[in-house]
């Protein structure tokens, strides 16, 4: 974590947060340009001396479980293909809150070399993340917090990685920078389709 800028936080600018609100799951209209979300959350320390597991900022598409019809199967495939292959520019900014001060936190995005099959993370030089790779999250804490429904289907994507994760209180701002008519149109045939901001640990490997 690197300090890029410090600023004093006023009470009026402080987003509300619920106690113990990690992992974070909040409605986020990814398919609508200008959709913004600000959330404060507390990243807890790890039990014992093992250190914190890696943490990522992402989103999940939530849909009803397939009813087996060809129409729903094809539409669900269209959603997953669009999320994987299309640019989805999202502005993401993170600050660590320390009393009345906020310290900006560098975020890292994922890179992959197809030929060598190698994956690595680099610090994003700005605050716009365009391609969100598919990810996997640790569902245990989500289930314990009542944030996971076994009757739904989730498609998880990573926007950025917090590296290294440090316990404390944070403020996160995200904004969708483009509308996605394809995703909007798919809601006509997938009426339960929605999107949620997700801040979570990765699936333990």
Query: Each residue of 69-128: pLDDT tens digit?
Result: 888 899 999 999 999 999 999 999 999 999 889 999 999 999 888 788 788 899 999 999
Output the pLDDT for position 117: 79
Dist. CA 62–CA 189, nearest whole Å:
14
Output the pLDDT for position 48: 63
Residues contacting residue 189 through CB under 8 Å, at least 6 positions apart: 71, 72, 75
Query: Each residue of 16-75: pLDDT tens digit?
Result: 444 458 999 999 999 999 999 999 999 988 776 666 788 999 999 999 988 888 888 999
Output the pLDDT for position 49: 62
Dist. CA 132–CA 110, nearest whole Å:
8
Output the pLDDT for position 167: 92
Global pTM value: 0.85
If residue 78 lies in a helix (H) or strand (E), which one and from where to where? helix 70-85
């Amino acid at each position: 974590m690197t300090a890029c800028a410090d600023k004093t936080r006023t009470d009026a600018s402080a987003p509300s947060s619920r106690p113990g609100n990690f992992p974070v799951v909040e409605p986020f209209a990814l398919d609508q340009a200008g959709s913004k979300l600000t959330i404060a959350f507390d990243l807890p320390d790890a039990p014992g001396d093992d250190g914190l597991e890696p943490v990522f900022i992402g989103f999940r598409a939530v849909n009803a479980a397939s009813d087996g019809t060809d129409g729903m199967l094809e539409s669900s495939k269209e959603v997953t293909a669009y999320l994987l292959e299309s640019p989805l520019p999202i502005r993401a900014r993170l600050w660590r809150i320390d009393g009345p001060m906020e310290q900006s936190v560098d975020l890292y995005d994922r890179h992959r070399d197809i030929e060598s099959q190698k994956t690595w993370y680099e610090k994003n030089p700005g605050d716009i993340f365009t391609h969100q790779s598919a990810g996997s999250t640790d569902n245990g804490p989500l289930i314990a917090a009542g944030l996971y429904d076994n009757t739904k289907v989730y498609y998880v994507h990573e926007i950025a990685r917090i590296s290294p994760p440090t316990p404390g209180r944070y403020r996160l701002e995200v904004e969708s920078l483009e509308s996605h008519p394809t995703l909007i149109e798919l809601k006509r045939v997938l009426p339960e389709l929605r999107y949620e901001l997700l801040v979570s640990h990765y699936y333990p490997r």
